[in-house]
Amino acid sequence: MQPSHRLSDVYIERLERQLARKGFVVHRYVDDFRIIANSQSSAHDAIEYAVDMARDIGLVLAEGKTKLRPKSRVVHEIEEINLAFGEFRSQAEEELRAIETEHMGYDDTPFIDDDDSIEPDEDDVDFVSLSRVIEDWSRGEKPMRGVHAHFGPGALKRLRSAAERVNDDWLIAIVEREPIRLYETISYLRRRSEMVQNWSTLKRLSDLPRQSPWAKLWMIALAEQLEPGETDQQEQFMSWVKPLLGDRHETVRAEAAWFLSRRKAITLDELTDLYMQASDVTRAGIAACVGSIDGANETKIGKAVKGDSALSKAAYNWGSSYAD
């Protein structure tokens, strides 16, 4: 389960379910809600109910992001956004037609009737137009932010399986300006096969400021899925992970410990300290790390961890099955 899904399931699913039971139409992405109401009074009721429910589970609605918007305005904005994307697509078609005409060469021009048109391949048009959205998104021009917010994440998702890779500089620029977009970027990298470039981009992402606990978890989770390789960026990323053993969030400490234990880059003494600090939330995870280090050769520390509780024993045994 991805960290964003953990966040949703643990903290927010209950709120979404209760709103739906009240008859509201709810659309959610991670912790962002869009509620459709039949009237202004109903919309106010939804907000008040959401505030109360959020308080019950220890959350607070972001005041700056909690807004009422009339249907006519939303429809108008969507129409403008669709029109803007249509322009991206038209530009892509014109660009590809020009390239195709140039490739045909001078001697071929007599065979083209005036009424004929060179239609580019639809897949090529999709790639170019979606890439233009990402490139434009990376520049962050204010008048286009509605287009970027509406089409950007979807465009990046569509481009995961494209033959060509999105410019990594664009991805870095987007996340640097909008840290919340790290999840879409990580999801994109997870589907790409260019391992050296993936490690390089992941290292650059780890160097960005304003890293939330979830950002750290997402990046470590991606690193766990990338194929190991002898790259400077990978070694540098390992150096970034190591200090996270002292992070103030214990879930980050546990995730960092698992990543390092799988690479034999953490000591049993360090794991002992983490185990002693851990609450019930992560203690089993640290036990699994000890098992991963021990493998088939149970140490005194491993024996002590196994004897601490039935859950720690099960986690240790599970971790030992992952030992190389």
Residue 285 backbone class (left: φ over 0; alpha: ψ -120 to 50; beta: rest): alpha
Do 11 and 90 have their domain in common? no
316 belongs to a structural domain? no
Taking the model in full, what pTM does it have? 0.69
Q: Give 27's pLDDT tier (boundaries 50, 70, 90).
A: confident
Residue 76 counted as domain residue: yes
pLDDT at 218: 93
* Residues 133 and 78 grouped into a single domain: yes
Residue 146 token pair:
């509605």
Q: How confident is the model at residue 2 (pLDDT cuts 50, 70, 90)?
A: very low
Q: Please, are residues 220 and 256 in contact by the beta-carbon 8 Å criterion? A: yes
Residue 43: per-residue pLDDT: 85
Classify residue 265: in a domain, yes or no: no
Q: Which has the higher per-residue pLDDT, 85 or 109?
A: 85
Phi/psi at 28 (5° precision): -135, 140
59 is a domain residue: yes
Are 21 and 91 found together in one domain?
no
Rounded average pLDDT over 77-81: 68
**Is residue 261 domain-resident?**
no
- Work out the percent of the chain whose per-residue pLDDT is above 90: 40
Query: In terms of residue numbers, what domain contains 37?
Result: 1-68
- Rounded to an integer, the average pLDDT of 307-312 is 96
DSSP secondary structure letters along 52-100: HHHHHTT----GGG-----HHHHHHHHHHHHHHHHHHHHHHHHHHHHHH
Residues 144 and 158 in one domain: yes
Instruction: Please indicate, yes or no, if residue 53 is contained in any of the structural domains.
Output: yes
122/150 same-domain check: yes
> If you average pLDDT over residues 225-237, what whole number do you get?
82
Question: Is the same domain home to 101 and 85?
Answer: yes
> Do residues 129 and 151 make contact, with C-beta atoms less than 8 angstroms apart?
no
- Is 154 or 212 the better-scoring residue by pLDDT? 212
Please check whether residue 298 lies inside any domain of the structure: no
Tokens describing residue 46: 């939804």
Mean pLDDT of the chain: 82
**Mean pLDDT, to the nearest integer, of 128-139?**
84
Say yes or no: 50 and 77 in one domain: no
Residue 22 lies in a domain: yes
* Same domain for 81 and 62: no
Total tally of structural domains belonging to the chain: 2
What integer pLDDT is reported at residue 111 of this predicted model? 47
Mean pLDDT for the stretch of residues 13-36: 78
Note the pLDDT tens digit of each residue in 178-211.
898 999 999 999 999 999 999 999 999 999 988 8
Q: Which of 55-64, 126-135, 202-211, 300-309 is the least confident region?
A: 55-64
Half-sphere exposure of 15 (CA within 13 A, CB side): 30
Which sign does the torsion angle of CA 279, 284, 289, 295 carry? positive
Calpha distance 224→306 (Å, rounded)? 25
Is pLDDT above 50 for 112?
A: no
Same domain, 138 and 60: no
| 144 and 100 share one domain | yes
Give the confidence band of 72 by pLDDT, cuts at 50, 70, 90: confident
Residue 137 confidence class, pLDDT cut points 50, 70, 90: confident
Within this chain, do residues 12 and 59 fall inside the same structural domain, yes or no?
yes
Report yes or no: 251 and 215 within 8 Å, Cβ to Cβ: no
pLDDT in tens, 235-283: 899 999 999 999 999 999 999 999 999 999 999 999 999 999 999 999 9
> Does the structure show a pLDDT above 90 at 288?
yes
pLDDT of residue 115: 46
Q: Does residue 52 sit in the same domain as residue 105?
A: no
